[in-house]
Amino acid sequence: MNFGLIVIGDEILSGKRQDKHFPKVVELLAARGLQLSWAEYVGDDRERLVSTLRRSFDSGDAVFSCGGIGATPDDHTRQAAGIALGLALELHPEAACLIAQRTAEMAAEGRGSADMSLPENRQRLKMGEFPAGAGIIPNLYNRIPGFEIRKHFFVPGFPVMAWPMIEWVLDNRFADLFHRERRAERSFLAFELPESVVTPLLEEIERDFPGIRVFSLPSVGDDGSRRHIELGVKGPEHLVAPAFERLEAGTRALGAEIG
């Protein structure tokens, strides 16, 4: 199973707010022996969201989408998901109950009325309108649920809500995938070695060790360090050790100093 992440919001693209979802989702997946395959940032543009979601629905990947599921004019995610799937939005009955419960709680705190026939509360109910056939994702923070459909999981942009909801999805939808394969990563620094010289060795290792991925991360020394490349291998644990030995020995044979 490939896992993807879509982070939605003009405020991210403009720099007004910094994205915190990417590193957290990587962390949540890694804690369960899983990894993120891809990530995209999309602004509050309905047409672009529709295009992005059509592509991700077609991929068959499991995708977390953070942001844009509110009911203000700049929230387009629910509508875009419906358009991408060719489905109408419907008020989810359980979502309606949860929103009404939250509204009553707010009224008890002196914030508004619990009367769901009032215009402001009818507006709140729009947050429970999801593509037909969608299920809900519980939100322990304020009851207002997210939704899931076709292995896509739509949560709010607020980390305090989104992260527990993503954990809930992982633990309730993908527990059978946890820690299926032990994975590892090893690397070293090679000094004053051009990438062009070491590239044939990297290609050889990926060819001879199917399942292993090599990486080459050069540094030009702009931080005051010596010019170097971080060379490494990652993949199934039982393949990492022999692939790493081949990489280290081959790099030394090229005359590189290793640190």
Question: What's the pLDDT at 83?
Answer: 98
Are 128 and 7 within one domain?
Answer: yes
Nearest-angstrom CA–CA distance, 89 and 31: 35
Are 92 and 210 within one domain?
Answer: no
- Provide the domain count of the chain: 2
Question: What's the pLDDT at 225?
Answer: 78
Are 170 and 46 within one domain?
Answer: yes
Are 131 and 157 within one domain?
Answer: yes
Are 243 and 172 within one domain?
Answer: no
Question: What's the pLDDT at 250?
Answer: 97
Query: What letter does residue 127 receive in the DSSP assignment?
Result: G
Are 135 and 237 within one domain?
Answer: no
User: Quick one: which of 29, 42, 37 has its CA closest to 179?
Assistant: 29
Are 130 and 198 within one domain?
Answer: no
Are 136 and 77 within one domain?
Answer: yes
Question: What's the pLDDT at 182?
Answer: 87
Tell me which residue range forms the domain holding 33: 3-177
Question: What's the pLDDT at 199?
Answer: 97
Question: What's the pLDDT at 217?
Answer: 95
Nearest-angstrom CA–CA distance, 236 and 185: 9
Are 218 and 148 within one domain?
Answer: no
Nearest-angstrom CA–CA distance, 195 and 203: 12
- Identify any residues that bridge with 154 across adjacent strands, giving them in sequence order: 65, 147
Nearest-angstrom CA–CA distance, 36 and 116: 41
Question: 177, 204, 223: which is the final residue of a domain?
Answer: 177
CATH assignment at residue 165 = 3.40.980.10
Q: How many CA atoms lie within 13 A of 72 on its CB side?
A: 6
Q: Which amino acid is at 246?
A: R
Q: How many CA atoms lie within 13 A of 195 on its CB side?
A: 12
Question: What's the pLDDT at 192?
Answer: 85
Question: What's the pLDDT at 102?
Answer: 96
β-pairing, 228-236 with 183-191?
A: antiparallel
Tokens of 90: 């419907």
Question: What's the pLDDT at 220?
Answer: 83
- Mean pLDDT by runs of 10 across the 259 residues of the chain is 97 96 98 96 98 98 98 97 98 98 96 96 97 98 97 98 98 96 93 93 97 94 84 95 97 94
Are 54 and 127 within one domain?
Answer: yes
Beta-carbon neighbour count of residue 19 at 10 Å? 19
